[in-house]
Amino acid sequence: MDLKQIKLVIDLMKRSDLTEFAVEEEGFKLKIRRGASGAPVISSPSYGSATPFPVLSAPVSAPSPAPAPAAPAPASAPSAPAGDESGIVYVKSPMVGTFYKAASPESPSFAEPGTKLTETSVVCIIEAMKIMNEIQAEVKGTVVEVLVENGSPVEYGQKLFKVKQG
């Protein structure tokens, strides 16, 4: 587990009611906890095993009510066509972050209604933890509708673009 993944877990904890997270991978153990008040809970690492593990606590912040994370879905993969919308698929968010339709405020949008897409077309940027992630369409077709406002927060699996395949 790398630092980027650990930061994503902490961000998820800040956005939800999750108070404890633990993972163990090939001699690496990590446990992140926060108290009911949101204050960090510091525990001593366990040295009973051959590899001690660090104990981190989430940043101090009162837990805010937030919706539970969406059920796992294929990251950024188009969804199956809806029953009444033959040939329509959706480009979904592969992560939690902030949606941007262009590389900068002065730049043109990556994708607007009518834009022709290939599987490798960049359709937007999602900022997660100060990292700008270019999101590819992963579907060939034409943008029918942009479903998210520029600068809006997005959730994992949230529909971003409605695309007519073809």
User: Phi and psi (nearest 5°) for 164?
Assistant: -90, 115
Q: Encoding tokens for residue 104?
A: 């900068």
Long-range pairs for 5-8: beta carbons < 8 A, 24 or more residues apart: 6/30, 6/32, 6/56, 7/129, 8/95, 8/96, 8/128, 8/129
Q: Tens digit of pLDDT for each residue in 124-166?
A: 999 998 889 999 999 999 999 999 999 999 999 999 999 999 7
**End-to-end Cα spacing for the chain:** 39
Q: Are strands 116-117 and 55-57 parallel, antiparallel or unpaired?
A: unpaired
- Condensed to tens digits (0 to 9), the pLDDT of residues 20-69 reads 777 777 776 777 776 655 544 444 344 444 444 444 444 444 444 444 44
Q: Going by C-beta distance under 8 Å and a sequence separation of 6 or more, which residues neighbour residue 138?
A: 76, 77, 78, 91, 119
CA distance 6 to 165: 37
> Residue 149: what pLDDT?
93
Q: Are 162 and 147 in contact (CB under 8 A)?
A: yes
Does the reported pTM lie above 0.75?
no
> Which residue ranges form the domains of the chain, and what is each CATH number?
3-57 (no CATH), 88-165 (2.40.50.100)
Longest dimension (CA), the chain: 61
> Nearest Cα to 96, choosing from 65, 57, 70?
70
Question: Which residues, 6 or more positions from 124, have their beta carbon under 8 angstroms from its beta carbon?
Answer: 99, 100, 101, 110, 111, 134, 135, 148, 160, 161
